[in-house]
Structure 1
Amino acid sequence: MNITQFTVSELKDPTGILTGNRYEFHLFLEFDEEDELLEEDAAGIRTIYVVDGEEDKITGTYFFKKGTEQALDFELEDEEIQEVLAFCRENAEKVEETTNNQ
């Protein structure tokens, strides 16, 4: 899996019920020619990254279709989940640094 670009936005909980910080990531991917997702016109992965104290996780992860962002019925493999988690961890910290410096 090759992440070619991404967007990230911090999600705010207007109720104050949820703890921690949440970020929505759109990861745009480059697929191998033999990959079934390329045939499905997939663009990438959408996920929510949650940081609560010392713990972090990704939730609500799904592949989406180019142009429509329609969810595709494919799941990430365990290795891909770890790769997405590491990517989100690294890039959410950059968003937090930018927010804290303003």
Structure 2
Amino acid sequence: MLTIKEYTVEEIKDPFGIIEGDRYEFILFIDVPEDDELYNEKGIYIKALFGVNGEESKVIKYDLLEVETNQYLDFDLEEDEEVELKEFCKTHLTVED
């Protein structure tokens, strides 16, 4: 289960109209228990690219990164966590100007 401490969301502009639908970049700071294989004492965040095209929405890509160094971590979320990530993004699309 993902425990999201804080997040930001930003719409990615496509001035040339190349991309179908809308794209959003989510930065999600997560709390990972010490006994989890993802645990990192420097903290972890997820950088996710989320796409919406009509009724369809999906996580296009995500990366796990270390908070202190922004270094890429070569881990994947579990399938249920990926579903949670998608649902979180889908319900938190509000972008402030």
Mean Cα displacement is larger for which, 33-42 or 70-79? Answer: 33-42
Give the Å deviation of 1:40.
6.3
> Residue 30 of structure 1 corresponds to which residue in structure 2?
31
Question: Are the equivalent residues in 2 in contact too, given 1:40–1:65 (CA < 8 A)?
Answer: no
Q: TM-score, normalised by structure 1?
A: 0.85
**Ranges in structure 1 where 5+ consecutive residues have no aligned partner:** none
Q: Distance in 2 between matches of 1:36 and 1:42?
A: 13
Over aligned residues, Cα RMSD in angstroms? 1.6
The residue aligned with 1:88 is: 89
Partners of 2:71 and 2:12 in 1: CA distance: 21
Q: Gapped runs of 5+ residues in structure 2?
A: none
Q: How does 1:1-102 map to 2 (within 5 A)?
A: 1-39=2-40, 41-92=42-93, 94-95=94-95
Mapped partners of 2:41, 2:64: distance in 1: 10
Kept in 2: contact 1:42–1:63 (CA 8 A):
no
Give distance in 2, aligned partners of 1:47 and 1:39. 19
From the two aligned structures, give the one with the greater helix fraction.
1
The TM-score normalised by the length of structure 2 is: 0.89
- Aligned mates of 2:26, 2:7 — CA distance in 1: 7
Amino acid paired to 1:64: L
Give the distance between the partners of 1:21 and 1:32, measured in 2 at CA.
34
- Structure 1, 41-50 or 81-90: larger mean CA deviation: 41-50
